[in-house]
Amino acid sequence: MTEHAPATGQAFGVAVIGYSFMGRAHSNAWRNVGAFYPDVPGVRMQTLVGRDGAAVTAAAAELGWADAATDWREVIERDDIDIVDVCTPGHLHAEVALAALAAGKHVLVEKPLANTVADCERLVAAAAADGAGRVMLGHNYRRVPALALARDLIAQGRIGEVRQVRLAYLQDWLADAEAPMTWRLRKETAGSGVLGDLGSHAVDQLHFLLGEPVSAVRGELRTFVTERPGEGDDGALEQVTVDDAAWATLHTPSGVVASLEVSRMATGRKNSLMIEVYGTAGSIRFDLERLNELEVCEVGDGPAQGSTRVLVTEADQPYVGAWWPPGHIVGWDSTFTSQAADFLRAIGTGAQIHPSFADGLAVQRVLAAIETSSAGGGIPVDVAP
CB of 296 to a second copy, least distance (A): 5
Pattern 276-315, binding to a second copy, x per CB under 8 A? Answer: x-xxxxxx----xxxxx-x-xxxx---xxxxxxxxx-xx-
Q: Which positions from 232 through 261 interact with a second copy, judged by CB under 8 A?
A: 245, 247, 249, 255, 257, 259, 261
Looking at the Cβ atoms of 99 and 340, the one nearer to a second copy is 340
CA gap 352, 359 in Å, rounded: 12
Which residue of 131, 232, 235, 325 would you call a contact of a second copy, by CB under 8 A? 325
Looking at the Cβ atoms of 95 and 172, the one nearer to a second copy is 172
Q: Are 54 and 33 in contact (CB under 8 A)?
A: no
CB of 306 to a second copy, least distance (A): 4
CA gap 321, 312 in Å, rounded: 10
Q: Widest CA span of the chain, in angstroms?
A: 69
Looking at the Cβ atoms of 122 and 139, the one nearer to a second copy is 139
Q: Is 35 in the site for a second copy (CB under 8 A)?
A: yes
CB of 380 to a second copy, least distance (A): 5
Stretch that binds a second copy, among 202-210, 263-271, 350-358, 364-372 (CB under 8 A): 263-271
Q: Is 14 helix (H, G, I), strand (E, B) or coil?
A: strand
Q: How far from the centroid of its chain's Cα atoms is residue 345's Cα?
A: 19
Q: Is 381 helix (H, G, I), strand (E, B) or coil?
A: strand
Tell me, what DSSP letter sits at residue 329?
Answer: P
Looking at the Cβ atoms of 131 and 255, the one nearer to a second copy is 255
CA gap 353, 193 in Å, rounded: 28
Looking at the Cβ atoms of 127 and 149, the one nearer to a second copy is 149
List the beta strands (DSSP E) in 223-350. 227-229, 237-239, 245-251, 257-263, 272-279, 282-287, 293-298, 307-311
Q: For 156-286, where are the alpha helices, taking DSSP H only?
A: 187-190, 194, 200-210
Q: Is 10 in the site for a second copy (CB under 8 A)?
A: no
Q: Are 101 and 129 in contact (CB under 8 A)?
A: yes
Which residue of 332, 348, 354, 372 would you call a contact of a second copy, by CB under 8 A? 332
Q: Is 48 in the site for a second copy (CB under 8 A)?
A: no
Pattern 155-174, binding to a second copy, x per CB under 8 A? Answer: ---xxx--xx-x-x--xxx-
CB of 130 to a second copy, least distance (A): 36
